Structure 1
Amino acid sequence: MSETKKELIKPNVVDSDDDGTICLGESFFIDDNYELTTFTFGPHVLQLLCLQSASTDFDLTGQLVWPGARLLNEYLSNNAELLQGCSAVELGSGVGITGILCSRFCNEVVLTDHNDEVLKILNKNIDLHESSENPNSCAALSAEKLEWGNTDQLNQILQKHPEGFDLVLGADIYILQNSVPPLFETVKELLLLRSGKEGCKFILGYVSRSKMMDVMVPKEAVKHGLQIREVEGTRSVIANLEGVIYEITLSN
């Protein structure tokens, strides 16, 4: 391909001279037309930047708020005593709606995601929240990159938080089957840091999208030496999907 032809091609499209195939670059999938959106959970009102519909790339699903996050936030807002004075880490934070709500009760919240584009909007929402000078917020908020099963990234986080966390949180973070085993591997590592500490648990906002995943999630939890129980009274319908809150702890 000549230098002249290269100059005419847009950065998100690559034209193959061999067979005429057009390959789409990463920037084609990125949609950063975020809107400032208001969410209400009980007496708590949050304003966050997010997309209103899913990106064309499944890896960028963290750019919008999913039903599981709404379910988890409703549960946490109604059971704020679970968070009072705790340190928490959220897995698959996306735009940060759960972690930012928790900052109103926790002493410290670390929000994590594996995708660099999602981490950009996550940090913007942390800045937005902190600049609002909300008198209800008492936690130190930070964002960290964490791909589940990545020991190096997890260790980097734990170097800053050597005592671990009181709570692990997650909502709608099991979209792909191959992500479930490393998810529970990471959860187990985080819970082991606080083994013997009363109340240390993983709270998962689960929304049913397939029978296969309904079976796989509890099965993988048990396979990783964890106990999983449905929190009584939390099963409900949200966005026409059945959801439930699970509490997951280390097996005795």
Structure 2
Amino acid sequence: MSVLLLHHGLLSICQLLELQCGGGSITPRVQSFILEHCMGNIVDQGTSYSHTYIRNILKKIIVDAESSSDVVVDGLYEEFGQYLTLNLEEGSQKENDRIYRQVSFLSSTIDDDVCSKPVNLVVRLVCSLNMLEGDTGCSLWPSSLFLSEFILSYPEIFSNKFNFEVGSGVGLVGIALNYVGASKVILSDGDMSTLTNMKANVELNCTNGSSNRVAECKYLPWESASEAELQQYRPDIVLGADVIYNPQCLPHLIRVLSILLKPQNREEVDNRISLHEAEGSPVSYIATVVRNLDTFNYFLRLASEANLLVLNISETAKPLNLLPYMLSYDQSNVRLLKISLICD
């Protein structure tokens, strides 16, 4: 049975075992079954799963086991360590899994109510072909396209501001921020391979005549970022695209947002705008596709508990349609959230 299930993905077998054997938990019995039957069959049957894919599944199993069981079988850690080493050797081969994608943001007419200048931005991105192998951060997602359109449609919100993005992926949003004249841009991600790919895209697109890049790329895992580390940034605007997807990550995301959105206590605060209104505190714009309503509602509940005000401005702040040729992309599938901290 395990051989058959492997063809439907290792994640499926883990979820099945949780329900049938572990009562919802990855017990030592379930862990031993995975090691003996699943991992053994990978070697014996010569399956085509890459080292990166297996490594990420093992990581998920270990995280779930640590959170739901008092005991984690040592063999899981040993297997994970082995595939971490193999992944380093595999790094050079991953170049074959990368492609260049060109995204052209173009406005045929000027809309004085939205954008007073025509948009002509052509972005070349290194993206991944293997989303199933842990490369989701190196793929192009609808929410990043939407958030980039929003930035290009309302440049006055972001120009001459310090913009900080969480979960920056391929770096498209940062490239759009650079185009509209942001005074400072920091892009961040908690995955090292994604960060490496992002830096390459920033270098490819964010250079000017003096070869000085505006966008900086930082390693920032939400779960381990300290409050002191986050407080040093003090951005005017915090952005994110497709960061509301994993329930286990949401408490960490909310904590990061809460710290970054704290008022900066400047003696003299220049004008900041949500759309056309001055504000004295940082604000966040999050673009997201709601794939799981329970997960989205969980995000809203955590935000409310953290004194974060979340407004859906999808209808009142629609961006220009700057990607009319991209037929697979639909603006209406993306929600735009404006988030601010409610001060006592």
CA contact (8 A) 1:34 1:50 kept: yes
Long gaps (5+) in structure 2: 1-35, 44-49, 53-86, 107-118, 270-279, 320-327
CA contact (8 A) 2:285 2:336 kept: yes
Give the Cα separation in 1 of the matches to 2:172 and 2:209: 15
- CA deviations 1:154-178 (Å, max 9, x no partner) are 64465xxx35110100000122111
The answer to whether residue 176 in structure 2 is matched with residue 101 in structure 1 is yes
Q: Report percent identity of matched pairs.
A: 21
Partner of 1:35: 99
SS in 1 for 2:140: coil
Give the Cα separation in 1 of the matches to 2:228 and 2:182: 22
Partner of 2:51: 25
Give the Cα separation in 1 of the matches to 2:302 and 2:339: 11
Partner of 1:119: 195
Cα RMSD of the aligned pairs, angstroms, is: 3.1
1:150 to 216, 220, 224: 224
- CA deviations 1:106-126 (Å, max 9, x no partner) are 011011000111111011111
Give the Cα separation in 2 of the matches to 1:229 and 1:138: 36
The answer to whether residue 228 in structure 2 is matched with residue 228 in structure 1 is no
1:190 to 246, 260, 266: 260
Give the Cα separation in 2 of the matches to 1:144 and 1:230: 28
Q: How far apart are residue 215 of structure 1 and its match? A: 1.4
**Amino acid in structure 2 at the alignment position of 1:172:** D
**Amino acid in structure 2 at the alignment position of 1:66:** W
CA contact (8 A) 1:60 1:115 kept: no
The answer to whether residue 162 in structure 2 is matched with residue 87 in structure 1 is yes
Q: How far apart are residue 216 of structure 1 and its match? A: 1.8
- CA deviations 1:44-90 (Å, max 9, x no partner) are 22222112x45223x43111110111111111111111101001111
The answer to whether residue 245 in structure 2 is matched with residue 175 in structure 1 is yes
Give the Cα separation in 2 of the matches to 1:54 and 1:97: 19
Aligned positions of 1:232-243 closer than 5 A: 232-234=315-317, 238-239=329-330, 242-243=333-334
**Amino acid in structure 1 at the alignment position of 2:105:** F
SS in 1 for 2:169: coil
Q: Which has the larger radius of gyration?
A: 2
Partner of 1:49: 126
> Paired residues, what number?
228
CA contact (8 A) 1:221 1:228 kept: yes
Give the Cα separation in 1 of the matches to 2:209 and 2:287: 26
SS in 1 for 2:188: strand
CA contact (8 A) 1:208 1:241 kept: no
**Amino acid in structure 2 at the alignment position of 1:46:** V
Q: How far apart are residue 190 of structure 1 and its match? A: 0.6
SS in 2 for 1:22: helix
CA contact (8 A) 2:263 2:282 kept: no
Give the Cα separation in 2 of the matches to 1:251 and 1:243: 25
Misfit runs of 4+, over 6 Å:
none
CA contact (8 A) 2:135 2:194 kept: yes
**Amino acid in structure 2 at the alignment position of 1:228:** V
Partner of 2:290: 208
Give the Cα separation in 2 of the matches to 1:72 and 1:168: 12
Give the Cα separation in 2 of the matches to 1:102 and 1:114: 21
Change in CA separation of 1:148 and 1:163 when aligned onto 2, cut-off 3 Å: closer
CA contact (8 A) 2:263 2:281 kept: no
Give the Cα separation in 2 of the matches to 1:54 and 1:226: 35
Give the Cα separation in 2 of the matches to 1:97 and 1:163: 21
Partner of 2:336: 245
- CA deviations 1:101-145 (Å, max 9, x no partner) are 1012201101100011111101111111244x379x986211111
Q: How far apart are residue 151 of structure 1 and its match? A: 2.9
User: Normalization by structure 1: what TM-score?
Assistant: 0.78
Change in CA separation of 1:219 and 1:156 when aligned onto 2, cut-off 3 Å: closer
SS in 2 for 1:103: helix
